Amino acid sequence: MGLSRLAALHGVATSYSPSPDVTVSVPDDTVIAVLAALGVDAGTPADVRKCLAAAESRSRLLPPTVVVWAGEPLPPALAGLPPGSTVTVEPEPSDLPGHPAGRPPAPLSMRARAAAPAEPVASGEPAPAPEAAPAPGAAPAWWIPPPHGVHRIHVRTPDNRRATATLVAAPPRLPQPPEGTHGFLVQLYSLLSARSWGMGDLGDLADLAAWAGRSVGSGFVQVNPLHAAVPGKPTDPSPYRPSSRRFPDPVHLHVESIPEYGHVRDRAALDDLRQDAAALSEAVLNKGALIDRDAVWELKRQALELVAQVPLTPGRRADYCDFLAEQGQALEDHALWCALAEVHGPDWHTWPEALRAPRSPGTARARSELLDRVDFHCRLAWLTAGQLAAAQRAAEDAGMGVGIVHDLAVGVHPAGADTWSQQEAFAHGMSVGAPPDAFNARGQDWGLPPWRPDVLAATGYAAYRGLLRGLLAHAGALRIDHVMGLFRLWWVPEGRPPTDGTYVAYDAEAMLAVLVLEAHRAGTSVVGEDLGTVAPGVREALARRGVLGTSVLWFERDWEGDGRPLAPEEWRRDCLATATTHDLPSTAARLTGDHVTLRHRLGLLTRSMEEELTADLTDTAEWLALLARLRMLPEGDGDEEAAVRAVHRFLRRTPARMTGVWLPDTVGDRRPQNLPGTWDQYPNWRLPIADPEGHPVTLEEITASPRLHGLMEVLRPRKPHTAPPGERRP
């Protein structure tokens, strides 16, 4: 009982429900291990009693972080302050328009009071009028709403108790995308143009956006996470296990677009590198080779080192200095980690002891010794940010109502830059995953260390705010992988199977408030990937704040009723509707059953191939029958291209705000980009987009494809939408 109470006080679950009628108890060893990762010693009954007594004896006037939503009632932490308490808010300097630069804005002072006669305020201040009952949904009359931002709040009670906390003041909802917009979903590395250096790059992304906006009326292009990867040979190819989520990977640079490229003196060396890059692309496009990120980076690194020798012009130098000042310590730490990884390897746990902490004297010496390499990696971050901005400008110039939709991975690699530079923020010895469910009886372990919710709250969510601000700087919208992680994550202790994990809760109110605030500042929308097991109330909470969900056609059934496919009008409005994702079969593979054959060949089926094929064909037949009844399949059975078009006609008929088209679907690609449950058995994250026969196709060939243009005909824009106040227009 004591362990359960202690766990509850720290947001650690001691049981969970994989289905409404099933409750599973979490092993005590798991609970003890998770508490230890949160700095709570529960190893013995005596330790439990001691920690429980200490936790229950602490009485906080305010939690570490307090959230207020504009126009909504105050949270209990503020509404319940003792009458007569003095409340002072120190706003962020940048959040008060017109305030002189470099000078902090004046604090906002107020006095909490009851509905009874008001108490006098400090000498020299006018006495407040008696408080009237607040209107429904409004804050009390004594409260002076601060501007949107992350502030400091100070409270002093009449009995002289004091507290200071972070105050997140957020608008009530996110900006919304234009209604009825469509766009492409693509893994950028897989999109090679004729000029690529062996994998798709930011020049290709800008070109795709410019073409899609102008030629087929698309409103967005959604890409995979472009986060910095952990270097090494081989590099982990998954974009969902990055070294850092805060900074992008320079492997995505289009080298020739860098202004200094044309002024490199050693043209012969550049020509040699370009020839090698052309050979890489030729091998991928015409010789059956896989995308080799390591080989691409080796060539680009050499080219970028030549480019870095070119002096910056005064204007470029000023822009670079501004970037350094804006990014601050976070960029310096990231660049130093990159420099140290070049010398000591990519896993900081194996570095010399003196270098394993970012603020150690040994690290300070290394920072000085590696100054040139640190500057090189800072410059790469600056160049990559510039090309990200250029891609978004290209999308906007092409008339896209959203532009580039970036992707936020759920976590980072345990050996990478983020875990080194923010060690105190991560729960070491823990990994994020998923509990056992109907689709995976063994659960999942993703190998990603989770953020500690207590440290996030104590630091005012500084790391989370910086992460979002960096990602949103050049985005039209943001997709959040496993958005349920804003509420809770499944923690798996190191060395244990995923079945021995448990849920750890996060302050969802604070996580959402920071997200809404930063997206509001950037003017961007947010799409949450909410597929799989979702706790009750999560989708409703996300919808209330304007976070769109993700709806994939094959999963949209009446699960609480007869299980049949949902008619288009029964779909939710606030979502991105798609036929597939990077983790699922392409639409052609789904329609033909090719994905079952692939999984059988790799030994991934849990039933016989005949059983799997029967179940799959039955599922597909139900959908095709619905499409036929709705007269969306006039060509009849047996026409694969027509069926793919019909699927997208259906998606377009739903009320979904956004409709996403998997770019490989436009040319009939049958191969998934990632096959969950495999590692070296399948070339995950290394395949170029291909035609139905598996022959790779370039960006130029994709955009000229009759099959693509036939598919996009069914997605022509709906009637013009009149945007309500506060909504962006296409």
Residue-level pLDDT at 438: 64
Query: What pLDDT score was predicted for residue 41?
Result: 95
In the prediction, which pLDDT does 718 show?
54
- Burial (Cβ within 10 Å: 0-12, 13-18, ≥19) of residue 247: buried
Dihedral sign (CA 606, 611, 617, 620): negative
Whether pTM > 0.85 for this model: the answer is yes
pLDDT of 136: 52
Q: Which residues of the chain have pLDDT under 70?
A: 94-104, 114-138, 438-439, 717-730
Burial status of residue 344 (CB atoms within 10 A of its CB: 0-12, 13-18, 19 or more) = middle
For 311-440, where are the E strands, in sequence order? Answer: 403-408, 430-434
Strand (E) positions, 6-54? 15-19, 22-25
**pLDDT attached to residue 140:** 80
Contact of 190 with 291, CB cutoff 8 Å: yes
Residues in Cβ contact with 19 at an 8 Å cutoff, skipping those fewer than 6 apart: 438
- Say what the pLDDT of residue 63 is: 94
Contact present, 91 and 148 (Cβ < 8 Å): no
Dihedrals phi, psi of 549, to nearest 5 degrees: -95, -175
Relative to beta strand 220-223, strand 162-170 is unpaired
HSE of 650 in the Cβ direction (CA atoms, 13 Å)? 31
> How many distinct helices (H) and strands (E) make up the chain?
21, 21
Which tens digit of pLDDT belongs to each residue from 655-707? Answer: 999 999 999 999 999 999 999 888 889 999 999 999 999 999 999 999 999 99
What radius of gyration do the chain's Cα atoms show?
A: 27
User: Where do the H-state alpha helices sit in 241-349?
Assistant: 267-286, 293-308, 314-344
- 407, 222 contact by CB (below 8 A): yes
**Smallest Cα–Cα separation from 718: which of 635, 653, 636?**
653
Residues making up the chain, counted from first to last: 730
Exposed / middle / buried, residue 274 (Cβ in 10 Å: 0-12, 13-18, 19+): middle
In this prediction, residue 75 carries a pLDDT of 95
The enclosing H or E element of 659 equals strand 658-662
Strands 575-578 and 149-156: unpaired
Rounded Cα–Cα distance for residues 553 and 530 (Å): 14
What stretch of H or E contains 8? helix 2-9
Q: Tens digits of per-residue pLDDT, 582-630? A: 999 999 999 999 999 999 999 988 889 999 999 999 999 999 999 999 9
